[in-house]
Structure 1
Amino acid sequence: MKTIRAVGAVFAGVLIAATVACSGGGSPAPDSESEQPTKLRLALHWTYPVAEWDGIVVADELGYYEEAGLDVELQFLSGSTATVQAVAAGESDLGLAGPDTILSGVDSGLEFTVVANHLQRTSSGVIAPAASGIESFEDLEGKTVSTAAASPEQAMLRSKLAEAGLDSESDLALSFVDPQAKCTVVLSGAADACTGQNNHHVIQFADEGVDPVFLSFSTEEQPILGHSIFANDAYLADHADAVSRFLEATMRGYETAAEDLDAVVDIYVKQRPETDAAFLLKTLEASHELMYSDRTDEHGWGWMDDTAWQALADSLLAGEVLGSEVSVSEIYTNDYLPEDAWKPQPLD
């Protein structure tokens, strides 16, 4: 495992506090230097580190996985579909993916188990310039909305439009573009709004001098969770303790990261010098605001329940991404989460 400890001094005080706070209730690491660390292949849903993985990046860089007796291989893949397929096929042991893609995989017969939900709310929604007058999904009537074709995000949009009493085929125009361009076309004036993320595209709007309005797909009445960590079922059965140790080390990484996001930016820039540090800091701040919920207030980091999974499943079923109802209680477990887990809080 690659561990760069040069930035450890930046985290010195935080690292000590996080180590003490997270030492209880966890699974022990191998107690002998002669024991070999457990190998764990982690599939990530993009080709380079992104903001919402900062806990994993920190855990890897500061040696938390090594301390937990793990040899973690980070596998950088192209999108959530690739990570879901890799984990289901046994080419990866654990993975990160959007919950919409996870549910689509379950619907298509793939087998795996979700073991943590590190983004408690989805970052997805509709973004429009404030000057457009768009303040609700009802206001999209007669507008052009750019989105990616055949995507769960597009399906959630259709579901929200239906809730607003709009027919996505006749009451507005959906413009299907490359996923990388869906919000750029709004900034160029070719569309009125786009589907996108509040921890990326909203920041892009603001950096371009455009005051954004964000209509989240998640609401208090229908909470929709964000990206989650899931495991290959065979690996989980054979390495349950390793999965528990991985989740505890990962939680430590997120807790440490939350204490000093500027230091996290330093790690990312060290790994990838072309990183836009100012933009990254904003995306880190926005991502950490998605990590807490009533669930984590009560149970701690990563906790899941049926309510949020069911809200997403209902939305995807309405958008015809799922072919049938999914028994959401059977696709996840909280059994491998750390005891007395860290409880994320809003950033100061």
Structure 2
Amino acid sequence: MAKELGYYRQAGLDVDFLEADASINPIKRVLRGEAEFGVGTTDLIKKYVNGEPVVVLGVILQHSPIGLVTTRPDIKSVEDLRGKKIMIEENSAELFAFLEANGLKVSDYILHKHKLSLSDLISQKVDVSSIYKTTEISALEAKNIDYQTFYPISSGIDFYGDNLFTTRDMVENHLEVVEAFRHASFRGWQYAMTNKEETIRHILSTYVTDHTYEQLQFEANVMEELMQTDRIYPGNMTKYHWERIAKTYMSVGFIDAVPNLDNFIYQPETKVVEIYQKLIWAIATISFTLFLLVALIYISHRFHKQKKQYQTLVQEAPISILIIDKTNHVQHWNRQAEKTFGWQANEVIGKNILDFLVGKNNREAIAQLFEEIRESGNRIQTINENTTKSGELINCNWTNSRYGEASLGQVICMATDVAEFLDEIDYDLMKKEHSIAVANKKKPTTQLENKGLSESLPLQNFDEQAQLAEIMNVSLIMWQTHTGKGRIKLAEKSQLWRVTIDGSTAKTRTLDKYLSRETIPNNPRWRKVIDTAIFVMGHAPDSEQKKYLNSLIERFTHFKSNS
């Protein structure tokens, strides 16, 4: 929409777009000087390592839409792709990394060149094809074709998608043009996702397209999910995420080492801004030196007193509080953290929290969560399985927020052991009985079932709405953690909740009511909540988080059977 709304014209740019087809490689065309800007995959990093002067200006999609699809019913897993004919479009290294991560080398399947069409897949000339989940999936559904998809994120390969890029020459010699084009483009994307209905109708009325209104609506909703525009402005990217992508490329042999990315990642700036900043600093230094000296003496005295009070408050808090720096190394570890996790402060200060407190299977997800907090400033609540000094695995409810100035990259993490919320339920006994029950393939019992009701949990003190909200929130967190998808997909896949379209945005209004105690109806549909939790547990591996959710279900159903 940037061109239609005049954003490029306002920036003094005359922009023409070249539509992609099978004969056009955007990266090659930009490097040959046939275009100044392009949109490419994360293959850009391979080009950079090989010496090509590419510079990534920003990303459109926070998560890549690229995956694999098959219409063959006998292909049920990535392993089943061995020996099959696979059509993959150019510059899709993440798919090769995905296959490699699942034990499939290029010699293990028959590679076909992609034609930017699924016709060969539908006619079964090939068994599998690379796809963009934003477009091709809706086309298959419109034709009522059954399909199975495989996405790299299921193997922990989470790449950016649709990356705006240019050349080092453009940045060094035409910086004003680069900055103007970048700003106008991402401003256009922001408008398009904020006004999806208007954008769809503009496409249908202005361009020749074989997409229907419903297909464009589907594409817009999927893009909104991948762009995360509700909390991240288009174009946003981090060096940390690009380094993770480079490490994945290195792990499968596509590059030899993780390069220095300073010249690969664009840092928005202009010469005018640089000159202006230098001038301001010069004036400020001359004009306010004496004033600052006096002010600093006064502020220092007050800050010292307030800092001491704050440190005492944090140190003596009844919940675990820790502060990490921008590289996830522990800076503060209060007394309750010492009690909960077993390590004394002097044992963990300066250590990476991911190395000792987070399980190996969750480290990448938690690292990404910290980066999201640093970028967006949002507060994020999770339930994680954590390791204590003694080696015991405990389930903790975490609230994580940005701490201090955004430029410092600090995160404050506050945790409580989930077991503390089970009140009269003996959590250790419940875990033991759960394990025995799984071994014997029978339903686990809880302390509530072993004791008389008067000895365990008084029914009059049971908050039904609060318990339902807890079950639904834990279920949603587990679903997001293990599938990478949100509420819309949970509602669609489980077929338990209605999805409505508000304008051009998909909503789950009824489900959303059950995420907060205050909005749950007086006569709640509690069976739907329980069924949702059971559905989610069926899609998640065994973990302490899963056991905790199971205990919540049993506690609630026990209450209903005795009320």
| Fold similarity call, TM over 0.5 | yes
- 2:225 matched residue in structure 1: 289
Query: Per the alignment, do residues 277 and 227 of structure 1 end up closer, same or farther by CA in structure 2, a change over 3 Å counting?
Result: same
CA displacement 1:57-85 (0-9 Å, x = unmatched)? x1101112222333333344656964323
Matches within 5 A, 1:104-143: 104-129=46-71, 131-132=73-74, 134=76, 136-138=77-79, 140-142=80-82
TM-score under structure 2 length normalisation: 0.43
Matches within 5 A, 1:70-219: 70-76=13-19, 78=21, 82-100=25-43, 102-129=44-71, 131-132=73-74, 134=76, 136-138=77-79, 140-142=80-82, 144-148=84-88, 151-153=90-92, 155-170=93-108, 173-181=109-117, 183-219=118-154
Checking the alignment, whether the CA contact within 8 Å between 2:58 and 2:235 is kept in structure 1 is yes
Question: What CA distance in whole angstroms lies between the structure 2 residues aligned with 1:73 and 1:300?
Answer: 24
- 1:249 matched residue in structure 2: 184
Checking the alignment, whether the CA contact within 8 Å between 2:101 and 2:252 is kept in structure 1 is no
1:200, CA displacement in angstroms? 2.2
Checking the alignment, whether the CA contact within 8 Å between 1:132 and 1:192 is kept in structure 2 is no
Query: Per the alignment, do residues 81 and 333 of structure 1 end up closer, same or farther by CA in structure 2, a change over 3 Å counting?
Result: farther
Larger Rg: 2
Checking the alignment, whether the CA contact within 8 Å between 1:200 and 1:283 is kept in structure 2 is yes
- Which of 297, 302, 315 is matched with 2:235 structurally? 302
Question: What CA distance in whole angstroms lies between the structure 1 residues aligned with 2:45 and 2:113?
Answer: 24
Query: Per the alignment, do residues 143 and 267 of structure 1 end up closer, same or farther by CA in structure 2, a change over 3 Å counting?
Result: same
Higher helix share: 2
- 1:262 matched residue in structure 2: 197
Question: What CA distance in whole angstroms lies between the structure 2 residues aligned with 1:226 and 1:259?
Answer: 19
SS of structure 1 residue aligned to 2:69 = strand
Aligned residues, how many?
A: 276
- 2:216 matched residue in structure 1: 280
AA aligned to 2:100 is: A
- Which of 39, 52, 64 is matched with 2:7 structurally? 64
1:189, CA displacement in angstroms? 3.6
Question: What CA distance in whole angstroms lies between the structure 2 residues aligned with 1:208 and 1:313?
Answer: 38
Query: Per the alignment, do residues 229 and 125 of structure 1 end up closer, same or farther by CA in structure 2, a change over 3 Å counting?
Result: same
AA aligned to 1:68 is: A
Question: What CA distance in whole angstroms lies between the structure 1 residues aligned with 2:87 and 2:135?
Answer: 15
Structure 1 unpaired stretches of 5+: 1-57
1:127, CA displacement in angstroms? 1.3
1:231, CA displacement in angstroms? 2.4
AA aligned to 1:209 is: N
SS of structure 1 residue aligned to 2:27 = helix
1 or 2 for the larger relative contact order (CA 8 Å, sep ≥6)?
A: 1
Checking the alignment, whether the CA contact within 8 Å between 1:144 and 1:193 is kept in structure 2 is yes
AA aligned to 2:157 is: Q
1:206, CA displacement in angstroms? 1.3
Question: What CA distance in whole angstroms lies between the structure 1 residues aligned with 2:248 and 2:227?
Answer: 21
Matches within 5 A, 1:227-246: 227-246=162-181
Please tell me the root mean square deviation across aligned C-alpha atoms, in Å: 3.6
Checking the alignment, whether the CA contact within 8 Å between 1:129 and 1:193 is kept in structure 2 is yes
- 2:245 matched residue in structure 1: 312
Query: Per the alignment, do residues 76 and 229 of structure 1 end up closer, same or farther by CA in structure 2, a change over 3 Å counting?
Result: same
Question: What CA distance in whole angstroms lies between the structure 1 residues aligned with 2:23 and 2:250?
Answer: 19
AA aligned to 1:84 is: I
CA displacement 1:79-105 (0-9 Å, x = unmatched)? 6964323433444332222221x2243
Q: Segments of 4+ in structure 1 off by > 6 A?
A: none
Checking the alignment, whether the CA contact within 8 Å between 1:80 and 1:98 is kept in structure 2 is no
AA aligned to 1:243 is: V
1:317, CA displacement in angstroms? 4.5
Question: What CA distance in whole angstroms lies between the structure 2 residues aligned with 1:77 and 1:187?
Answer: 22
- 2:545 matched residue in structure 1: none
> Which range moved further: 191-200 or 83-92?
83-92
1:191, CA displacement in angstroms? 4.2
Query: Per the alignment, do residues 336 and 290 of structure 1 end up closer, same or farther by CA in structure 2, a change over 3 Å counting?
Result: farther
Checking the alignment, whether the CA contact within 8 Å between 2:30 and 2:38 is kept in structure 1 is yes
AA aligned to 1:260 is: N
TM-score under structure 1 length normalisation: 0.65
AA aligned to 2:37 is: L
Checking the alignment, whether the CA contact within 8 Å between 2:8 and 2:184 is kept in structure 1 is yes
